[in-house]
């Protein structure tokens, strides 16, 4: 069995491609079932965020497993394999293990050290288990990655300053206008990213904020959290009117289709009114055709790269500290992963010895006859079990603790030969 990850990220693909590959949460169950229906995919987990779509697999035939994931991605995105391939990366074995740890720790994020990715990795783990994609190996891998992510956040200063895509978007807006205070700002969406937008906007001096959301309840809950600034609340049918009366609009909804485009804006925008749109959603909420309007300036997540470059420099040293923690977590996973190959030898040895114990016990009990009391039988049963467990304990511990691959395999071969075991050879 081997591990691989096939995917694409902000480092390998622009947002126009990433959004085609994105797998929204409601589609996760179907995607996992589809991937598991391929002959060489034994376990699967899907990590879909604004910055990346990654599919982790466990397969006994890893090359075929990778081909099957690539095939799935081409079908899902409706992109020909040839054009998709230039954006895909594939990592195998320990490289895949190291990668998921770096991702969970925020070291592979567009905004280095952002905290949201850890929650997204946890969600991948939860959904993978819920829809039966994650079994023994990926369960251990994701648990270890989550531990790694938590350790990096608590043992280094990489999370200080609460950086996120939202904070970077607010920073970009501030660079464009300098002083946010006089501007009428609208936020489309009232989810996690919108909450961070409001928080950063207020901390940067914004005072005229409106939220437009699909449901009123969530927007009201959000507004309540920021009593220092009066926040106006609107529902989606009022969106176009609110946008037309705003100077700056942030979009952060989970809509899979654009909710703003040229046609909608053209109808309501005064030609003398300049509008700036900051879209942090993937798939994008703002159609690229708005750029045809002379009075509209639109930015998306990929436009945040310039802002985050400065952030990257200041966090690079912290990232180096984090890499040391990740090395420890990777090594921990590796010990567990390697110990897996001893499972079949250990269970063969246990079965063999257990069969001997049961046969010899039955012989002894039948010789003792029916007058031999039940209580005495229990004592003899416990005695034989105790002896067997004690004899097997040391060889099992010794075998599992062999770190060196060849030394461990030699031990397994010796055990198989000496005890005449028919353990399946997993390491030939």
Ligand X SMILES: NC(=O)c1ccc[n+]([C@@H]2O[C@H](COP(=O)([O-])OP(=O)(O)OC[C@H]3O[C@@H](n4cnc5c(N)ncnc54)[C@H](OP(=O)(O)O)[C@@H]3O)[C@@H](O)[C@H]2O)c1
Q: Which residues are at the interface with ligand X (CB under 6 A)?
A: 50, 116, 165, 189-194, 213-215, 218, 252-255, 259, 280-282
Q: Are 281 and 254 in contact (CB under 8 A)?
A: yes
Is 50 an annotated catalytic residue? yes
Closest CB to ligand X: residue number: 191
In the complex, least distance from residue 110 CB atom to ligand X, rounded to whole angstroms: 9
Backbone conformation region of residue 363, classed left if phi is above 0, alpha if psi is from -120 to 50, else beta: alpha
| DSSP 8-state secondary structure symbol assigned to residue 291 | G
The reply to whether 313 sits in an annotated binding site is no
In terms of CB distance, is 10 or 408 closer to ligand X?
A: 10
In the complex, least distance from residue 49 CB atom to ligand X, rounded to whole angstroms: 6
- The whole-angstrom separation of Cα 397 and Cα 124 is 34
Specify the 3-state DSSP secondary structure of 160. Answer: coil
In the complex, least distance from residue 173 CB atom to ligand X, rounded to whole angstroms: 15
Pull the structure tokens for residue 5. 């990850």
Q: What's the helix, strand, coil split of the chain in %, to 5?
A: 60, 15, 30
Cα→Cα distances 339→98, 134, 159, Å? 18, 19, 34
Cβ burial 321-359 (10 Å sphere, 16+ → b, else e) = ebeebbeebbeebeeebbbebbebbbebbeeebeeebee
In terms of CB distance, is 40 or 192 closer to ligand X?
A: 192
Q: Torsions phi, psi of 179, nearest 5?
A: -115, 115
In the complex, least distance from residue 217 CB atom to ligand X, rounded to whole angstroms: 8
CA dihedral (150, 154, 158, 164) positive or negative: positive
The reply to whether 116 sits in an annotated binding site is yes
In terms of CB distance, is 212 or 411 closer to ligand X?
A: 212
Sheet containing 89-92, strands listed edge to edge, beginning at the edge strand earlier in sequence:
43-48, 52-59, 2-9, 89-92
| DSSP 8-state secondary structure symbol assigned to residue 303 | G
In the complex, least distance from residue 219 CB atom to ligand X, rounded to whole angstroms: 7
In terms of CB distance, is 252 or 348 closer to ligand X?
A: 252
In the complex, least distance from residue 405 CB atom to ligand X, rounded to whole angstroms: 39
The reply to whether 49 sits in an annotated binding site is yes
The reply to whether 149 sits in an annotated binding site is no
The reply to whether 52 sits in an annotated binding site is yes
CA dihedral (197, 198, 201, 204) positive or negative: negative
The reply to whether 130 sits in an annotated binding site is no
In terms of CB distance, is 145 or 193 closer to ligand X?
A: 193
The reply to whether 109 sits in an annotated binding site is yes
Given the residues 15, 46, 50, 96, the one annotated as active site:
50
Q: Are 282 and 258 in contact (CB under 8 A)?
A: no
The reply to whether 30 sits in an annotated binding site is no
Which helix (H) or strand (E) covers residue 334, if one does? Answer: helix 305-339
In terms of CB distance, is 112 or 190 closer to ligand X?
A: 190
Query: Binding-site residues, please?
Result: 49-52, 109, 114-116, 120, 189-194
Query: Binding-site residues for NADP(+), please?
Result: 189-194
Query: Binding-site residues for substrate, please?
Result: 49-52, 109, 114-116, 120
- Show which residues are catalytic: 50
């Amino acid at each position: 069995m081997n591990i691989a990850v096939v995917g694409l990220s902000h480092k390998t693909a622009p947002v126009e491609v990433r959004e085609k590959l994105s797998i929204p949460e409601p589609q996760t169950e179907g995607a996992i079932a589809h991937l598991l229906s391929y002959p060489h995919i034994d376990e699967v987990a899907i990590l879909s965020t604004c910055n990346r779509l990654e599919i982790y697999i466990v397969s006994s035939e890893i090359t075929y497993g990778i081909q099957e994931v690539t095939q799935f991605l081409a079908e899902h995105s409706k992109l020909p394999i040839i054009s998709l391939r230039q954006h895909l990366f594939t990592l195998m074995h320990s490289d895949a293990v190291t990668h998921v740890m770096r991702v969970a720790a925020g070291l592979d994020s567009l905004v280095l050290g952002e905290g949201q990715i850890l929650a997204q990795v946890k969600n991948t783990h939860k959904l993978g288990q819920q829809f039966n994609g994650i079994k023994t190996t990926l369960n251990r891998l994701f648990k270890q990655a989550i531990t790694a992510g938590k350790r990096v956040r608590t043992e280094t200063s990489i999370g200080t300053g609460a950086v996120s895509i939202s904070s970077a978007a607010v920073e970009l807006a501030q660079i464009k206008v300098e002083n946010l205070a006089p501007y009428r700002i609208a936020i489309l969406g009232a989810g996690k990213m919108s909450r961070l937008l409001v928080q950063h906007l207020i901390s940067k001096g914004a005072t005229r904020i409106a939220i437009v959301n699909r449901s009123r309840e969530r927007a009201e809950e959000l507004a309540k959290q920021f009593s220092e600034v009066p926040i106006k609340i609107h529902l989606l049918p009022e969106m176009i009117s609110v946008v037309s009366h705003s100077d700056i609009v942030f979009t952060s909804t989970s809509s899979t289709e654009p909710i703003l485009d040229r046609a909608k804006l053209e109808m309501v925008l005064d030609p003398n009114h300049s509008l700036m749109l900051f879209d942090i959603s993937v798939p994008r909420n703002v159609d690229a055709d708005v750029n045809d309007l002379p009075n509209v300036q639109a930015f998306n997540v990929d436009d945040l790269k310039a802002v985050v470059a400065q952030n990257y420099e200041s966090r690079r040293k912290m990232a180096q500290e984090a890499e040391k923690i990740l090395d420890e977590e990777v090594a921990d996973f590796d010990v567990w992963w390697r110990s897996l190959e001893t499972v079949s030898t250990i269970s063969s040895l246990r079965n063999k010895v257990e069969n001997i114990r049961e046969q010899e016990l039955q012989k002894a009990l039948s010789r003792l006859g029916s007058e031999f009391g039940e209580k005495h039988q229990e004592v003899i049963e416990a005695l034989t079990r105790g002896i067997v467990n004690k004899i097997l304990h040391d060889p099992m511990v010794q075998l599992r603790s062999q770190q060196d691959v060849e030394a461990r395999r030699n031990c397994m071969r010796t055990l198989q030969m000496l005890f005449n075991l028919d353990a399946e050879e997993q390491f030939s």
